Amino acid sequence: MNVSTRLFGLTLVFVLLAVFKPGKAHAQIDVFDFETPEQEQRYRQLSNDFRCPMCQNANLSSSPGGVASDLRREIYRMIMEGQTDAQIEEFMLARYGDFILYRPRLTAQTLLLWFGPIMFLLAGAWVARNIIRNSGMKKFNHNRAEADASINQDTYVVADIVISDEERRRLNRLLAEHDDSAHNQDNTGR
Amino acid sequence: MNNFKLFLPVIIFMVLAVFMWRGLYMDSRTLPSVLIDRPLPEFQLRSLELGDQLVSTADLPDGPFILNIWGSYCLPCLQENPIFMAAKEQNVIPIIGLNYKDRDEAARDWLELNGNPFELNIIDDTGRYGIDLGVYGAPETFLVDADRVIRFKHIGVINYRIWEDEIMPAIAAVQAGGSS
């Protein structure tokens, strides 16, 4: 095994470690006893859905913060008391406000948050459409028509017309001249 | 129309710049409290002063008071303690402590060492009452009016500037509201 193969192997290991970081964002381990798997499932779901008010960029299940473990304990208590997910969410909202939700509710205040990205996407699509329109046939035709008003735009629709070699040569010559004059006019006209 | 198009990038830049400039000075760590203008939640808790005898909202001062969330482990609480001591000396407003997620002995030692500005120290060792208050870490400071309604909240340490510029006006407003 030569040096470069070793180096390659080593690099590969580091890259793989970087991509598949072991133990990334694992949940905090709580010792709660549930009566049914469904309760445990709800507990996991809820502590994933609520945001830790202290750590801010972590949900309750991945946050080691003091208040996060308190809130997980409260979720557990409410599940065992038979409260619904909606009731638990209400409990959290009444104390910590919208911040606690990773999925904000749809209210007048959060309208922009929900639909802002779609608005930007539509605006982008509109701009792209205009650019494509302006740079395509329209501009080409426009320049032609401006350069020589005597040539009708229909002239360029030649798909159905069979022309002889002599005619083709003449056409090319005309087009070349025409291109030159259009070009000159472009430069001087501005 | 063409002129407008010409200036569109500049306009977009300016709008973005204004938002981002404001964002630079926004504090995303302090959350707006949903408890402002809501009644102080009920509690039945022990206190540092009264041993095993439980205290409730009935044991709180009749008029407006400050409720300060503190812990002996909390360095900013130590920083703001002199301000509360001075306020106590000058009889500005009664100050109630909520000893949050702490050990009783550690809390008593801390008060003895650093001074006790609190009329009463409610013990919330589990942090359960803190949840009802929307607390997420000491120090936090509530201002409660004579009707037991939360009127103001400050998250984090209180320094002299914050005390003068924010807390004192809030206290004045609450005290004026109570007497009228």
| Domain boundaries, given as residue ranges, for chain B | 34-179
Radius of gyration in angstroms for the set of CA atoms belonging to chain B, rounded to a whole number: 21
Kindly give the residue spans of alpha helices, DSSP state H, lying in B115-167: 128-132, 160-162
Residue-averaged pLDDT of chain A:
79
- Tens of pLDDT, residue by residue over B107-159, are 999 999 999 999 999 999 999 999 999 998 889 999 999 999 999 999 999 99
Maximum average pLDDT range among A142-146, A165-169, B170-174: B170-174
> Domain ends where: A76, A100, A124?
A100
Least CB–CB distance from B127: residue in A53, A67, A93: A67
For the ranges A96-100, A134-138, B7-11, B122-126, the one whose mean pLDDT is highest: B122-126
What ipTM was estimated for this complex? 0.82
Q: Which residues pair with B155 in a beta bridge?
A: B140
Whether residues A29 and A95 share a domain: the answer is: yes
Question: If you average pLDDT over each of A109-113, A119-123, A160-164, which comes out highest?
Answer: A119-123
Cβ proximity of A102 and A51 under 8 Å: yes
Work out the pLDDT band at A98, boundaries 50, 70, 90.
confident
With a pLDDT cut of 90, the percent of chain A lying above it is 30
Mutation site, A70, A100, A105, interface B, largest B CB count within 10 A: A70
Within-domain flag for A38: yes
Q: Are A91 and A142 found together in one domain?
A: no
Mean pLDDT value across residues A21-41: 75
Residues of A in contact with B127 (CB under 8 A): 66-67, 70
Beta strands at B65-70 and B140-144: parallel, antiparallel or unpaired: antiparallel
Residue B137 has what pLDDT? 87
pLDDT exceeds cutoff 80 at B95 = yes
Q: Are residues A137 and A94 in the same domain?
A: no
Does the CB of A94 have a partner CB in chain B at under 8 Å?
Answer: yes
Higher pLDDT among residues A160 and B150, named by residue: B150
The residue type of B138 is: A
Residue A6 falls within a domain, yes or no? no
Mean pLDDT value across residues A91-109? 87
Exposure b/e, B88-126, CB count within 10 A at least 16 = b: beeebbbbbbbbbbbeeeebbebbeeeebbbbbbbbbbe
* Residue A11: per-residue pLDDT: 73
B34 and A97 in contact by Cβ < 8 A?
yes
**In this complex, is the C-beta atom of A58 within 8 Å of any C-beta atom belonging to chain B?**
no
Last residue of a domain, one of A100, A129, A150: A100
In a domain, A179, yes or no: yes
pLDDT range class, residue A186, cuts 50, 70, 90: low
Q: Let me know whether A78 and A129 are in one domain.
A: no
Which one-letter amino acid corresponds to residue A176? A
Q: Is residue A90 part of a domain?
A: yes
Q: Is residue A74 over pLDDT 70?
A: yes
In a domain, A13, yes or no: no
Kindly determine whether residue A53 and residue B31, on different chains, have CB atoms separated by under 8 Å: yes
- Identity of the residue in B29, B132, B135 whose CB atom sits nearest the CB atom of A56: B29
Residue in A with minimal Cα distance to B131: A95
B40, B42, B98, B131, best to mutate vs chain A, most A CBs in 10 Å: B131
* pLDDT greater at residue A53 or residue B120: B120
Q: Are residues A78 and A134 in the same domain?
A: no
Minimum-distance CB partner of A74 among B29, B31, B131: B131
A95 interface with B at CB cutoff 8 Å: yes
Q: What pLDDT, on a 0 to 100 scale, did the predictor assign at position A190?
A: 45
Query: What is the overall mean pLDDT for chain B?
Result: 92
User: Are A95 and A121 in the same domain?
Assistant: no
Q: Among residues A48, A74, A100, which one ends one of the domains?
A: A100
Instruction: Indicate whether A88 belongs to any domain.
Output: yes
DSSP letter, residue B164: I
Cα gap B128→B107, rounded to integer Å: 18
Q: Is residue A108 part of a domain?
A: no
Residues on chain B bordering chain A, Cβ-to-Cβ distance under 8 angstroms: 28-29, 31-35, 101, 126-128, 130-137
Has residue A93 been placed in a domain? yes
Q: How far is A188 from chain B (nearest CA, A)?
A: 21
Give the pLDDT score at A20.
Answer: 62
CATH code, A84 = 1.10.8.640
Q: Select the CATH number that applies to the domain covering B34-179 from these four: 3.30.420.40, 3.40.30.10, 3.30.565.10, 3.90.700.10.
A: 3.40.30.10
Count of A–B CB contacts within 8 Å?
46
Q: How many domains does chain A have?
A: 2
A189 CB within 8 Å of a chain B CB: no
**Structural domain for A169, as ranges:** 113-189
Asked if pLDDT for residue A159 goes beyond 80, the answer is: no
The percent of residues in chain A predicted with pLDDT above 70, rounded, is: 70
Residue in A closest to B32 by C-alpha: A97
| Cβ contacts of A72 on chain B, cutoff 8 Å | none
